[in-house]
Structure formats: C-alpha cells, structure tokens
Structure 1
Amino acid sequence: MQETMIDTQVTYRVEHAGKLYVIEHVPARVCQETGEEYFAPETVEHIQSIIAGHARPVRVIETPVYDYA
C-alpha cells in the first residue's frame, strides 16, 4: 500500500469570537487523495496559544464577506 500522506505546511483558518484568524506556514500531514489535513497535538496547542495570546500579526488582510442568500 502506497503512502498518500505528505508532510507539508498549510494555511490554517479559524473563526473565534467573531473574528477570522489566518495562520500561515502551519506544519501538517496532508492526504494527497482527499486533501484532509492532520495536525500534531502540539501544533494545535500552539495555534490556540497564538489566538488566545493575541500575538501581534505579521500582517493584516481585509476580507470581503458575502451572504449566500
């Protein structure tokens, strides 16, 4: 059976407390067949600490929001 998982870096997006957070260069294992992303527990903890600690962002982007209706 061929391994379909690769180690790479992804851009992680999450909404928390009404704000959208984008974290770039997050280490992940990604399934080449499905695109599913898997994160180590310490990676998830680090993402949570970035958001909870209100770390200074490297840049700020403006994002349009649309209503599907």
Structure 2
Amino acid sequence: MKKAKKLIPFYTIKAASDGDVMAIRYILKHYEGYIAKLSTKMLTDECGNGYYFVDKTMKEQLTTSLLQMIFNFKI
C-alpha cells in the first residue's frame, strides 16, 4: 500500500509568498528529496561501472525555480 504524501498547508504557502523565512525553509525542506532525485545523474567509466552524483548546477536551478514560484504565488 502506498504511503499518502503530506501536502503543504495553504497558510504556509501564503506565509512563504509574503516572505516568512521559516515558511520558505519548510517548503524547501519538503521538496529537498525530490530536488535531489531530479538532479541525480549517472556516469559510466570505461569499464562500464556506473556512478551516481548530484549535479549541483541542476540542483541550484531547481531550487531557484521553486523560490521563484513561491514568490510569484497569487491567490
């Protein structure tokens, strides 16, 4: 059985869009794992061994996009 995903309460999103630092941190923490998953890449060496790494540029771009969405949130 799948575990239900916890949603971010509306008042937290509204507070973050108004500039509340704690609310912004809460939202960033909520999406931290998802951002890390999206920014994880795999490299293979000449022997065919695979290595996973987090692309820091991609992670920063995704975090920046999330912050822009928070500040552009309109009711």
TM-score (norm 2): 0.29
User: Higher relative contact order by CA 8 Å / sep ≥ 6: 1 or 2?
Assistant: 2
* Higher percent of residues as strand: 1
